[in-house]
Structure 1
Amino acid sequence: MSVNKVILVGRLGRDPETRYMPNGDAITNFSLATDEQWRDRNGERQTRAEWHNVSLYGKLGEVANQYLRKGSQVFIEGKIQSRKYTGNDGIERTAYNIIGNEMRMLGNRNDGFDSGNNNAAPPTSNPPPAAPRRQPPQHESTTAPIDDIDDDIPF
Structure 2
Amino acid sequence: MIKMQVIGNLGKDCVVNTVNGKNVINFTVAHTEKYKDSQGNNQEKTTWVDCAYWTDRTAIAPYLQKGQQVFVEGAPEVRSYTRNDGTAGASLSLRVREVQLLGRKGDGNESGTFQQSAPAARPQAASMQPAPVDDVADDLPF
Which of 20, 42, 67 is the matching residue for 1:22? 20
Equivalent in the alignment of 1:13: 11
The structure whose Rg is larger is: 1
* CA 1:38–1:91: 2 relative to 1, 3 Å: closer
* CA 1:68–1:109: 2 relative to 1, 3 Å: farther
* CA 1:5–1:130: 2 relative to 1, 3 Å: closer
Instruction: Please state if 1:53 is matched with 2:50.
Output: yes
Equivalent in the alignment of 2:2: 4
Pairwise mapping of residues 71-90 of structure 1 onto structure 2 (< 5 A)?
71-90=67-86
Letter in 1 for 2:13: D
TM-score computed with the length of structure 2 as normaliser: 0.70
Q: Secondary structure at the match of 2:56?
A: helix
TM-score computed with the length of structure 1 as normaliser: 0.65
Tell which deviates more after alignment, 43-52 or 99-108.
Answer: 43-52
* Distance in 1 separating the partners of 2:141 and 2:79: 68
Give the strand-richer structure, 1 or 2: 2
**8 Å Cα contact 1:33-1:51 kept in structure 2:** yes
Equivalent in the alignment of 2:134: 135
* CA 1:138–1:48: 2 relative to 1, 3 Å: same
Which sections of structure 2, spanning at least 5 residues, go unmatched? 111-127
- Aligned residue pairs total 122
Q: Secondary structure at the match of 1:106?
A: strand
Equivalent in the alignment of 1:70: 66
**8 Å Cα contact 1:28-1:64 kept in structure 2:** no
Which sections of structure 1, spanning at least 5 residues, go unmatched? 111-128, 144-155
